[in-house]
Amino acid sequence: TEKKTTMDAAKKAAGYKAVDDHVKSGMLVGLGTGSTAYFAVERVGMKLKSGELKNVKCIPTSVRTKEQAESLKIPLITLNEMPKGTMLDVAIDGADAVDPDMCLVKGGGGALLREKMVEVMSKKFICIVDETKLCSGLGPSFPLPVEITPFCHEHTLRVVAALPEVAGCKAVLRTGDCSNNKAEPGEKPAISDNGNYIVDLHFTKNIADVTKAAEAIKKVVGVVDHGIFQGMTYQTIIAYKDGSCKVAGKGGKKPWWGKTQYAPYLYGVAVVAHLAYLASSRMSK
């Protein structure tokens, strides 16, 4: 319980910082879904109530977020109501995994389609996570969700699982509560806000090529969308258990976790090995 309380405090710090740093009066804002995004929505509501923010309109990415925003009296619109040619000023949302290139896996809460539709229309997408979501590569740390149509879903699941680009994955149909990325025994298929099913792809190794995997999954007939969010993240705010936050990306530091932190070391090893090889070659001549 203490660990959960500490992590909730970290998530709250990241959510509040994202709103304080990026949301200004008069903006159009995308509101994410999940345990970390919850605090960003809470902060928008607080600042509207206090009068610190004015004339802000928001677009929620799920029914759950819509209900939370309505309870806080946050003015809401939909993508349909946006003037032609305009974009959201900013979208704030969490992620289930973040690699050193700030590619994300999202959809653990089942809202990946609406999240992607809103966030791809944002000038800035701010990702807010706690430190446990950082990884060296997408795949093993969190299953990749794929939203599919209910029609012949077992067939679509098999086609996705057989793609060479996701070789080695285990495809599992999500059952029970859609916001829980588990296959609950004896439960019916989980249904997204859009009336679709979700398949979670479990990996034991890093996805070899995230770009190719994303493209291949999207091309499968029966797939609605997937949880890979690539080339979309403007900034990632990472919360730590001690309550501090660090910023990666625009306005922050270059991502420091995963493979990047070992790059200088590996480069040094490669140089030494190469010099040793040259020396041995000269001696053998």
Span 32-41, average pLDDT? 96
User: What distances in angstroms separate CA 217 from CA 159, 183, 229, one per listed residue?
Assistant: 9, 21, 13
Q: Return the higher-pLDDT residue of 283 and 106.
A: 106
Is the alpha carbon torsion for 106, 108, 114, 118 positive or negative? Answer: negative
pLDDT digits (tens, 9 = 90+) for 269-283: 444 555 555 556 555
Residue closest to 179 by CA, chosen among 231, 114, 122: 114
d(CA 142, CA 148): 19
Give the residue from 242, 207, 32, 238 showing the smallest Cα distance to 132: 238
**Rounded-to-integer distance, Cα 12 and Cα 6, Å:** 10
Task: Give pLDDT, residue 160.
Answer: 98
Please, what is the average pLDDT of the chain? 92
In this prediction, residue 6 has a pLDDT band, given cuts at 50, 70 and 90, of confident
- Strands in 97-98's sheet, in edge-to-edge order, are 97-98, 104-105, 228-229
Confidence at residue 202, expressed as pLDDT on a 0 to 100 scale: 98
Catalytic site positions: 115
Say what percent of the chain tops pLDDT 90: 83
CB 89 within 8 A of CB 123: yes
Query: How much is the pTM?
Result: 0.89
pLDDT, tens digit, for every residue of 238-271?
A: 999 888 999 999 999 999 998 644 444 444 444 4
pLDDT at 179 over 80: yes
Percentage above 70 pLDDT, the chain: 89
Strands 90-93 and 125-130, sheet pairing = parallel
For the chain, give the number of residues.
Answer: 285
105 compared with 1, residue with greater pLDDT: 105
- Neighbour tally for 277: CB within 10 Å: 10
Q: What pLDDT was estimated at residue 273? A: 53
User: How high is the pLDDT of residue 268?
Assistant: 47
